[in-house]
């Protein structure tokens, strides 16, 4: 059999790995935190983020109802029972790396829990708490 030319091997490698890098997304948790703090015009507070996340806001659900109170551990969806991977980037490096996903779920989940969208300041607070976690 003919030996594979090095450039063919290189193309094959790129083809194999590019879907993985594409999956890694278009942003980072640190970039999202900087953006939301700038929009809010105030520094984020991890302590406020923890309170927002673990409290109920007039309805039956808190964020922790589905995500759990320890963001480095998996959660369990309150109605479907499905496992939800940890939200803290220290435990799950894919979190907050895809702008569209972050915005979609923040919008949906804040409406479920607070009956409105979260403000930039609230999102910054939650993210400050999540990025504070150690693995």
Q: Which of 63, 91, 121, 124 binds ligand HEC (CB under 6 A)?
A: 63
Q: Identify the residue whose tokens are 């490698």.
A: 13
Nearer to ligand HEC, 12 or 94 (CB): 94
91 binds ligand HEC (CB under 6 A): no
Nearer to ligand HEC, 43 or 51 (CB): 51
Report the distance separating Cα 50 and Cα 120, nearest Å: 15
Report the distance separating Cα 51 and Cα 54, nearest Å: 5
Q: Which of 14, 69, 105, 107 binds ligand HEC (CB under 6 A)?
A: 105
96 binds ligand HEC (CB under 6 A): yes
Q: How far is CA 117 from CA 3, 7, 43, 104, 127, in A?
A: 58, 50, 20, 11, 15
Q: Which part of the chain contacts ligand HEC (CB under 6 A), choosing from 9-17, 34-42, 79-87?
A: 79-87
Q: How far is CA 134 from CA 70, 91, 124, 129, 130, in A?
A: 11, 8, 18, 11, 9
61 binds ligand HEC (CB under 6 A): yes
- Contacting positions for ligand HEC (CB under 6 A): 53, 61, 63, 65-67, 77-78, 84-85, 87, 95-96, 101-102, 105-106, 109-110, 112-113, 126
């Amino acid at each position: 059999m003919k030996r594979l030319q090095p450039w063919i091997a290189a193309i094959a490698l790129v083809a194999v790995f590019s879907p993985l890098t594409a999956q890694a997304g278009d942003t980072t948790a640190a970039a999202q935190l900087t953006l939301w703090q700038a929009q809010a015009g105030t520094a984020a507070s991890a302590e406020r983020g923890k309170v927002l996340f673990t409290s109920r806001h007039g309805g039956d659900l808190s964020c922790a109802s589905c995500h759990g109170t320890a963001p480095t551990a998996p959660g369990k969806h309150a109605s479907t029972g499905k496992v939800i991977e940890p939200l803290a980037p220290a435990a799950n490096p894919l979190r907050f790396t895809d702008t569209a996903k972050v915005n979609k779920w923040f919008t949906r989940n804040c409406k479920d829990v607070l009956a409105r969208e979260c403000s930039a300041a609230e999102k910054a607070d939650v993210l400050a708490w999540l990025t504070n976690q150690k693995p």
